Chain A
Amino acid sequence: QQQVKQSPQSLIVQKGGISIINCAYENTAFDYFPWYQQFPGKGPALLIAIRPDVSEKKEGRFTISFNKSAKQFSLHIMDSQPGDSATYFCAASMSAGSARQLTFGSGTQLTVLP
């Protein structure tokens, strides 16, 4: 089953707070886990990505935590800002074959209040 489950569906955070979005996957062949950020009227844009050989990756205020045994990964946004308000998608892909078609979660609509 090539499915990625994402929660919560929506999230409201105060400015300066921490936003946490969780994803779980089933297919153990997945070996690349990107997060995409999507603003209204725009296409998804890569935010940060991780491979399962590391448990955490940090880029600025954004951190991915990865738990291979639990088949779960999460996005943490520290010091959340109103400009972070967007829809966030987790995704997964596998290196088998010649391309990286992405399997996406259902998305989390984040609202950061000023």
Chain B
Amino acid sequence: GAGVSQSPRYKVTKRGQDVALRCDPISGHVSLYWYRQALGQGPEFLTYFNYEAQQDKSGLPNDRFSAERPEGSISTLTIQRTEQRDSAMYRCASSLAFRGDHEQYFGPGTRLTVT
């Protein structure tokens, strides 16, 4: 079956532009997570959703970052007025439920480069 998909896979944007990163989780997965992974580092938590409700956005670096999941399926991470320090791999993960030891399935990521 299809895994987690993300688009675009690569995004190059100029400083000051807004970008929208899309995540399509595994069908039926309740929880959806966004992580950011710097080169040579592990993924760092940004935010997560159970169904359409954003449960925790404590990992978002600042108010330029926002995320939504309006119908409890596809999610969009938006970065406004991008800065060079926003350059990183942005990863999405989904899990079947939000209780218990449910495996998080990661997507291939979106490589964002801000020039």
A interface residues, Cβ below 8 angstroms from B: 4, 6, 32, 34, 36, 41-46, 49, 51, 89, 91, 97-107
Is there an interface contact between A97 and B56, defined as CB atoms closer than 8 Å? Answer: yes
A-B Cβ contacts below 8 A, count = 67
Is there an interface contact between A101 and B56, defined as CB atoms closer than 8 Å? Answer: yes
Is there an interface contact between A100 and B102, defined as CB atoms closer than 8 Å? Answer: yes
Instruction: Kindly state the separation between the CA atoms of A106 and B91 in the bound complex, as whole angstroms.
Output: 15
Is there an interface contact between B101 and A104, defined as CB atoms closer than 8 Å? Answer: no
**Distance between A5 CB and nearest chain B CB, rounded to angstroms:** 11
| Residues of B contacting A49 in the complex (Cβ-Cβ under 8 angstroms) | 101
- Select from chain A the residue with minimum beta-carbon distance to B32: A99
- Select from chain A the residue with minimum beta-carbon distance to B47: A101
| With A43-B107, A43-B108: A99-B42 Cβ-Cβ less than 8 Å | no
- Select from chain B the residue with minimum beta-carbon distance to A43: B106
Is there an interface contact between A101 and B48, defined as CB atoms closer than 8 Å? Answer: yes
Is there an interface contact between B42 and A98, defined as CB atoms closer than 8 Å? Answer: no
- Select from chain B the residue with minimum beta-carbon distance to A51: B101
Instruction: Kindly state the separation between the CA atoms of A97 and B58 in the bound complex, as whole angstroms.
Output: 13
